[in-house]
Amino acid sequence: MSTGTTTHAVPHASPVLRVAPAPSAEAAAYFRASLAFHTDVSDVAAALTAGGDPGFVLVDCRSTESWDQGHVPGAVHLPTALVAERAGQLLDPAVPVVTYCWGPACNGATRAALALAELGYPVKEMLGGFEYWVREGLEFESWQGVEHRAADPLTAPVDAADCGC
């Protein structure tokens, strides 16, 4: 009789497999759920540049200083600490929200997404944040106007329209 998820050590395996991978059905459920909570920079950029309504509002949840330094064009500025106070004034609860913060080393977008979800908003987090937006060579706005930097060859796909995934 199974009592739930079982993990076990794999003898003499690489460090990656010290704990065996989850059974495929559990892995599929986990990754399916992950896609319900996350999106990425490339998909957000494609939706925003496709023309028309992308079907979501993009929220930059960083500080005003960070916003001024640079943000995704068309994003709404709503710092994480102010979500509970200002979300109702800035966001339509019927429109899905995608949050972002600085990058993978920051959990501000996760905290903002949690606060929005607790307020009843449908929400996803943009993986990579503003850091990867800029690293992929996408346009951004700053207090100086619209800016664009060359794509980082280590992070941006060769063909920005199709990374192959």
Domains in the chain, CATH or no CATH each = 38-147 (3.40.250.10)
Q: What is the pLDDT of residue 162?
A: 59
3-state secondary structure (DSSP) of residue 152? coil
Of 76, 65, 118, 79, nearest to 98 by C-alpha is 76
- Please count the other Cβ atoms lying within 10 Å of the Cβ belonging to residue 72: 24
φ and ψ of 33, to 5 deg: -65, -40
Q: Return the structure tokens found at 119.
A: 């307020």
Of 139, 117, 122, nearest to 130 by C-alpha is 139
pLDDT lower than 70: segments of the chain: 1-13, 157-165
Q: What is the pLDDT of residue 1?
A: 45
Q: Kindly report, residue by residue over 91-119, the tens digit of the pLDDT.
A: 999 999 999 999 999 999 999 999 999 99
Q: What is the pLDDT of residue 165?
A: 67
Burial of 53: CB neighbours in 10 Å, binned 0-12, 13-18, 19+: exposed
Q: What is the pLDDT of residue 2?
A: 44
The answer to whether 107 and 98 have CB atoms below 8 angstroms apart is no
Of 102, 98, 101, nearest to 46 by C-alpha is 98
